[in-house]
Structure 1
Amino acid sequence: MRTREKAALAVAGLAVAAAGGTVFAGTSGAVGPSPAPSVQAAETSCVTDGAGMCTVQHVLGAVPAVVVVSANTPGQFNAYMLNTVQGSYTATTFKVRAMFDQTTPKVGGAIWFSYAAYGGAPVTTTQLPPSTPMPTKTTTPTTTPSTTTPLPPTTSAETSGAPGGGSGPGG
């Protein structure tokens, strides 16, 4: 490409950008989280229970962070609203609920819908560290030192003498 053609393309690109358009120059790699999040998209059907709900199986291997559903109604008079059920996401399933209006569930009927489930964090079982027992407070009995002095040992001569401490016979 000659310089004149390059200049013309550059001017055209600037004109598009100035007009609010998008200019793509060259190629670039994908931008986003690494590794790429897991996504499962499918079309399915099920029969609702007494509350208008049914359980959908998925193979993300993680609890979905987001599930988007879109009803596919086959007939003119078979319209229903479809939502995911809050708190129903697990690593293998999620629940949807079909309603004719805000108060009337589609009970016992077949529903057809498309969904896209976007994986969250992989499911891991966490084990808490073993709990250590709280140390028990042990108190040792305190002994008070004795303030009395021990008596000297006595001998047999001191215990066999006469009462009163006399000094001999007659005296």
Structure 2
Amino acid sequence: MRTREKAALAVAGLAVAAAGGTVFAGTSGAVGPSPAPSAQAAETSCVTDGAGMCTVPHALGAVPAVVVVSANTPGQFNAYMLNTVQGSYTATTFQVRAMFNQTTPKAGGAIWFSYAAYGGQVSPPTTPTPTKTTSPTPTPTMPTSPTYPPTSETPPGGGSGAGS
């Protein structure tokens, strides 16, 4: 933050406090994935080639998963659209293309822009797949044999009747 911006922020904070408001000084911790993905943001310029493209160096040390660019035009009549070039990301550079309209590139001109490059593999959030539960299959049971009253063939006393 520049000195002028810091001074303006301090004056604004004093004005809020003088008006009976609450001034919060401090920062909150970052919220997001852990470990935090690597990121680089900068403002830069380059001169485009005949197709309106230029190569931008970055210091992520890995192929960016995402690069976001925003044109900074110096005058109202110097507007251009700015996009990243698909498939141009490397571990050290990416390409941008400046266009005046859908068919006319900003060829051989200086462009100014801001960018944010985010490293690491970005994957869509995953939803856990529900596990299919099956109820246990009942084990078939054999019917029990019915009990019959004793027959007369078995002597009372349960012996074979041979010698006593």
2:106 aligns with 106
Residues 59-97 of structure 1: CA deviation (Å, up to 9, x unaligned): 001100000000000011100000000000000000000
- 1:32 shift after superposition: 2.0
2:89 aligns with 89
How many Å separate the matches in 1 of 2:73 and 2:106?
13
- Amino acid corresponding to residue 82 of structure 1 in structure 2: L
TM-score normalized with structure 1 length: 0.53
3-state SS of paired residue (1:64)? coil
- Amino acid corresponding to residue 96 of structure 1 in structure 2: V
3-state SS of paired residue (2:65)? strand
- Name the CA shift for 1:79/1:35 in 2 (closer, same or farther; >3 Å): same
Root-mean-square deviation (CA, aligned residues, Å) is 1.4
Identity across matched positions, percent: 93
Query: Between Structure 1 and Structure 2, how many residues are aligned?
Result: 94
- Amino acid corresponding to residue 65 of structure 1 in structure 2: A
1:78 aligns with 78
1:8 aligns with none
Q: Any runs of at least 4 consecutive aligned residues in structure 1 with deviations exceeding 3 A, and if so which?
A: 28-31
- 1:33 shift after superposition: 1.5
How many Å separate the matches in 2 of 1:34 and 1:86?
28
**Unpaired stretches in structure 2, ≥5 consecutive residues:** 1-27, 122-164
**Unpaired stretches in structure 1, ≥5 consecutive residues:** 1-27, 122-171
- 1:48 to 2:45 alignment: no
How many Å separate the matches in 1 of 2:53 and 2:97?
4
